[in-house]
Structure 1
Amino acid sequence: MRFVTLILLAVFLFEIALGGDDKANVRGLGMAGATTVTSRTIDAIGINPALLAYMGIARGSEIKGRIIDAETKQPVPGAQVTIKNLNLSVRANFSGEFSLKNVSPGNYTVVVTQKGYETLVIKGFKVTPNSTIKGTIGISRKETAQETSVNFSELNFEVREQRPIIYNDNSSFTMSLVPQIGIGIGANFLSYNLYLDYFTGVDSAGERVPKYLTDDDKRKILDSFRENPGTLMSQIDVKMLNIAFPIKSVGIALGVRERVISKFGIPREFMEFMLYGNPPGSVYSYNLGIGGTWMREYSVSLGTKIPFDLIIIKNINVGVGVKFLQGFGYVGSDDLNLTFETADSSRGYEITASMKGVVKRAGVDFLDPEKKASFTPFPSPAGTGLGFDVGASVEVLGLFTAGLSITDIGSINWTKNAVIVSGDTTFKFSGYSTQEKIDSLKQSFEDYVNSPNRKKYEGFSTGLPTAIRFGVATDLKTLLPFFPGRMLISADYFQPIGNAHISFKSPKLALGVEWRLIGLLPLRAGISLGGFEGFALSVGTGINLPFMELNVATGNLNEVMPGGDLRHFSIATELRLKF
């Protein structure tokens, strides 16, 4: 046991010397992350900037129709149609047809003129958002420019709302009243229930004492590894400021986002070594993974609608986001390997310990006791960089929307307290039973750890947790008009391709729904397969008022249901103003 303690201390010293998902998207978390083409306005930051286009296209409408002679019913070519309040006008073609596009919502006075005809003044011409207003206007021949007034309600105009398949709240401005906060933590090996069962001791005479682990207990712990190595990962995601608004046909979003990510790779062999020790003739070799970062994003995102449609594709939206990045801390290991070999009696139970690997770290240095680092929420940046999000979304056949986005393209250059530490050494020892030899061995490790020639004080660059997202979604009412309320159905594929030290490489599939039987009370649910969690059940709800929206969600409801083992936990909330 003393030897195991010594080895663990050595590993700890060596590590010290060497040393993704948008959790704050509350609406998306409640739908298991299936939000590539369903996020709205403020949620679009960091997911698919093309969706900001809905803020722009939701405002403009089209007035179209035909000008005819009131008596003969023949077209009146060249007739001029003018929206008086906007000084916007167009002339009818040879068929008497006209079209005025991108007309802002409002009540207008429309004037129709042509030489030899009366001047027709249409008052109270109502333009609703994102609509096509179509009708036929008849004008009578007059020898003088006589003016005739009618009310819009007297004319037989057809008003058809061109609502996008993926509905949104048509807000022209949104702003977070309090930071959007998301927290997630989880492991794909040892669960919280196993921890309570085997690592918190047992009651004995009113005191907690260590529990003796049987072979069955140890096998159960080792069998908890869903893959090798196991991963312990946590993320804190805070969107401190989010503002979204349209300028003409362009949706714009501004944001400030804080992200703290940590990731540890724990090999099954390491856990086996912890449980069984090092019997003679055993060899344990494993790679440990260490990763973490703290960064802040200042982002500007733009989205707009392409002014044309294709044969089966409409509402083509594109977007881009640019992020100025400040990094406050980073640590990441490359090929950090530890090997322990215990010889049998023929070699006098000699123990060989090999250690090699590289760790890069930068920022506030909590690992160096001489620097006396202290935490502050506003440290000076240790690195800076640029990041980009790009995306597109389209409506296909009028039945569903498809979208593609690539997020977090870019890198951070670390320069402050930047250290690259390497290790490649082997220790052999025997006769470790005396305290003097244990202290001597400990001192040898410390001398090696503090060796100056192992450290390079130079800057380095690290990538962001880049990811590709593809999704499809539809409103069930598009397929079943009689369905009560509105139900959004969305499916997503998520593939991380970026920095493996701060992201999980496995792809994830997600299916989510949002049902608005009562408009102000959305109900959300989703399931996901793959990724870090494996299987996850998500739920969320909110209160959607005309001027304000409150949302809350959790992404791991199945972990607290009967049969769950509390491997993962996530929760997020937001409160935003809109109008």
Structure 2
Amino acid sequence: MAFIIPQRSLAQLSIDNSTSAAMGSTGAAFTNGFPALGINPARLTHFEHPDRRLRGTVAFAPFGVSASSNALSISLYNLIFGTEGKVFTEAQKQEIFNSFADVTRASNETAVTSLGISLNYADLGIGSFAFSIRDDAGANFGLNKDYLALLLFGNESFAGRRMQISDTQADAWWNRSYTVSFARFTPEPRFAKGIKKFAVGASVRLVHSFGYAGTERNSSKVFTSLSGDSVSVEANYRLLSSVSENFQSEQSFTPLASPAGTGFGADVGISGEFDKGIAFGAALCDLGAVHYTADATIKERNGLITFTGFNDLLTDGKVQAQLDSLRGLIEESSRKESFTVGLPARFRFGVAVRFDEWLEQSVPVAVSLDYVQGFNEVYGNSLAPLVGVGFESRHWPGVPLRTGLRFGGAQGFGWSLGVGLDTPYFAADFSTRNVESIFRGQSATAISFGLSMRLRFDRLREVD
């Protein structure tokens, strides 16, 4: 796919966690050790797998890439952009128009952990520790279908009626987080008799954001007169932007840039077992905010803007006057002022069953189920709840096979798949969250993949 326009997306999904991504974005009660970071810190107390009991883990740049759209498939892209200077027939215009939803939503995101390490001494009563440095960059936008109608059919199609633009929005960001995590087992809680291996965990992070631009509010409307002589814009919007001073020119660019904004975040989680092999977990993640100061700009307007005289004979002077008027209105709405953006806070609850432990038989199969609820729509987060179910099989020793389904969330249904290579001292996992796109061929609207590799050390004991 040569071009992918950036559906609000991905904070719910942990795209660089290949174990979770392959299992329907589950993991609150299933992912253990270092892969539990960002999902449920309480699971740091567990070794990655009962057969892999090593205290230390070093992660080698786990990363994930995802891009999706609810409209632009490969075939539609080829139709629109496949030929330079192409002139569309009326039938092709209608085909393009009918292919788009009322609001076209698209997203892309890339995440990578440049440094990650964890140490597990929970079985000794000390606890488990982890540290990571993670970069996350992405963009989302939503575009009302009326813009497409204007582009394809001209402004005559809106004469005497309202053009809907209130759902138009966009945001883009690049954040780097430095996270310290701790978890340990605790005595059986009084409120939950019979719970085994009860653990609590927390992560705190320093967030450096190198840039952000986003639509905080937009309920604007456009009205065109019947004669087409005038256009009125009922403007009601608030736009935020901030960028590191190191990115404001090519000469000042550096990978060790000063942040545009700084903030703090936290994760808290619990985990336990109802019975041997039947686990539960719950976590609140990314509680906090980032405060932007570098070249921080707020563009805000609430009022009526009217342009007239479109049917008059245009002269260079009239055109320039209209442009000057528009420029003045935009400049009047802009001011330099710091602002704060909340982190993509969300709640996650899950249950998981490892049948080999539960049944005490050689059935190396696990099933997990998670519910995820986002609390805002920033940095790719979504208010739409997500339910995921995942499955892992280890019938082939050292080669875990994983699959899962997602329902809801910003992207709706998704089928995920993954495979791993798991030896005592080395593990690698590959995943994709959009297997269905492979079978849709030219109708595919999403692509994603993730890869993670880890070295383990300080073996406690090995069970074969």
- Considering the TM-score relative to the shorter chain, is it more than 0.5? yes
> Which letter does structure 2 place at the counterpart of 1:497?
F
**Would the alpha carbon gap of residues 323 and 168 (structure 1) be closer, same or farther in structure 2, given more than 3 Å must change?**
farther
SS of equivalent residue, structure 2 residue 449: strand
Matched, 1:190 2:182: no
> Which letter does structure 2 place at the counterpart of 1:476?
F
Matched, 1:361 2:241: yes
Among 349, 352, 360, the alignment partner of 2:232 is 352
CA contact (8 A) 2:31 2:43 kept: yes
Quote the sequence identity (%).
25
**Would the alpha carbon gap of residues 216 and 350 (structure 1) be closer, same or farther in structure 2, given more than 3 Å must change?**
same
The aligned residue for residue 54 of structure 1 is: 46
CA contact (8 A) 1:558 1:564 kept: no
Distance (Å, rounded) in 2 between the aligned partners of 1:432 and 1:294: 46
Distance (Å, rounded) in 2 between the aligned partners of 1:416 and 1:354: 30
Distance (Å, rounded) in 2 between the aligned partners of 1:219 and 1:325: 45
The aligned residue for residue 4 of structure 2 is: none
SS of equivalent residue, structure 2 residue 258: coil
SS of equivalent residue, structure 2 residue 273: strand
Q: How does 1:172-183 map to 2 (within 5 A)?
A: 172-176=55-59, 178-183=60-65
> Which letter does structure 2 place at the counterpart of 1:460?
F
Distance (Å, rounded) in 1 between the aligned partners of 2:451 and 2:62: 6
Distance (Å, rounded) in 2 between the aligned partners of 1:179 and 1:412: 24
**Would the alpha carbon gap of residues 491 and 221 (structure 1) be closer, same or farther in structure 2, given more than 3 Å must change?**
farther
The aligned residue for residue 435 of structure 2 is: 557
Distance (Å, rounded) in 2 between the aligned partners of 1:364 and 1:328: 5
Q: Deviations over 1:525-545 (max 9, x none)?
A: 111111122111111112111
The aligned residue for residue 405 of structure 1 is: 283
The aligned residue for residue 460 of structure 2 is: none
Among 484, 503, 520, the alignment partner of 2:381 is 503
Matched, 1:541 2:424: no
Distance (Å, rounded) in 2 between the aligned partners of 1:354 and 1:367: 34
The aligned residue for residue 239 of structure 1 is: 113
> Which letter does structure 2 place at the counterpart of 1:297?
S
CA contact (8 A) 2:342 2:378 kept: no
Distance (Å, rounded) in 1 between the aligned partners of 2:220 and 2:32: 48
**Would the alpha carbon gap of residues 407 and 334 (structure 1) be closer, same or farther in structure 2, given more than 3 Å must change?**
same
Among 406, 422, 430, the alignment partner of 2:300 is 422
Distance (Å, rounded) in 2 between the aligned partners of 1:263 and 1:480: 45
Distance (Å, rounded) in 2 between the aligned partners of 1:179 and 1:367: 24
Shift of 1:399: 5.2
C-alpha RMSD over aligned residues:
2.6
Among 312, 315, 318, the alignment partner of 2:200 is 318
Among 347, 353, 360, the alignment partner of 1:474 is 353
The aligned residue for residue 139 of structure 2 is: 262
> Which letter does structure 2 place at the counterpart of 1:242?
G
> Which letter does structure 1 place at the counterpart of 2:281?
G
CA contact (8 A) 1:415 1:458 kept: yes
Distance (Å, rounded) in 1 between the aligned partners of 2:215 and 2:325: 23
The aligned residue for residue 128 of structure 1 is: none
Shift of 1:325: 1.2
The aligned residue for residue 157 of structure 1 is: none
Distance (Å, rounded) in 2 between the aligned partners of 1:489 and 1:528: 14
Among 115, 131, 154, the alignment partner of 1:277 is 154
Distance (Å, rounded) in 1 between the aligned partners of 2:155 and 2:328: 25
> Which letter does structure 1 place at the counterpart of 2:421?
I
Shift of 1:339: 3.1
Q: Deviations over 1:154-195 (max 9, x none)?
A: xxxxxxxxxxxx74622210001x311111111223333322
SS of equivalent residue, structure 1 residue 344: coil
TM-score by length of 2: 0.86
Distance (Å, rounded) in 1 between the aligned partners of 2:152 and 2:325: 26
Distance (Å, rounded) in 1 between the aligned partners of 2:233 and 2:275: 64
Distance (Å, rounded) in 2 between the aligned partners of 1:432 and 1:26: 61
Distance (Å, rounded) in 2 between the aligned partners of 1:373 and 1:407: 37
Q: Give runs of ≥4 in structure 1 deviating > 6 Å.
A: 365-368
The aligned residue for residue 186 of structure 2 is: 306
Distance (Å, rounded) in 1 between the aligned partners of 2:344 and 2:235: 28
User: Which one scores higher on RCO, CA 8 angstroms, separation ≥ 6?
Assistant: 2
Shift of 1:48: 0.4
CA contact (8 A) 1:181 1:573 kept: yes
Q: Deviations over 1:379-411 (max 9, x none)?
A: 101221110000011111335111101100001
Distance (Å, rounded) in 1 between the aligned partners of 2:361 and 2:441: 38
CA contact (8 A) 1:387 1:409 kept: yes
Shift of 1:440: 3.8
**Would the alpha carbon gap of residues 396 and 446 (structure 1) be closer, same or farther in structure 2, given more than 3 Å must change?**
same
Q: Deviations over 1:92-132 (max 9, x none)?
A: xxxxxxxxxxxxxxxxxxxxxxxxxxxxxxxxxxxxxxxxx
Distance (Å, rounded) in 2 between the aligned partners of 1:527 and 1:342: 46
Among 196, 214, 217, the alignment partner of 1:335 is 217
SS of equivalent residue, structure 1 residue 444: helix
TM-score by length of 1: 0.70
CA contact (8 A) 1:432 1:438 kept: no
> Which letter does structure 2 place at the counterpart of 1:421?
K
Q: How many residues align?
A: 435
Q: Deviations over 1:413-471 (max 9, x none)?
A: 1122111122345132222663624444334323433x3x4332221111000111111
CA contact (8 A) 1:222 1:271 kept: no
Shift of 1:412: 0.9
* Structure 1 unpaired stretches of 5+: 1-19, 59-165, 203-207
Shift of 1:214: 3.1
**Would the alpha carbon gap of residues 315 and 31 (structure 1) be closer, same or farther in structure 2, given more than 3 Å must change?**
same
Shift of 1:512: 0.8
CA contact (8 A) 2:32 2:45 kept: no
Distance (Å, rounded) in 2 between the aligned partners of 1:317 and 1:446: 58
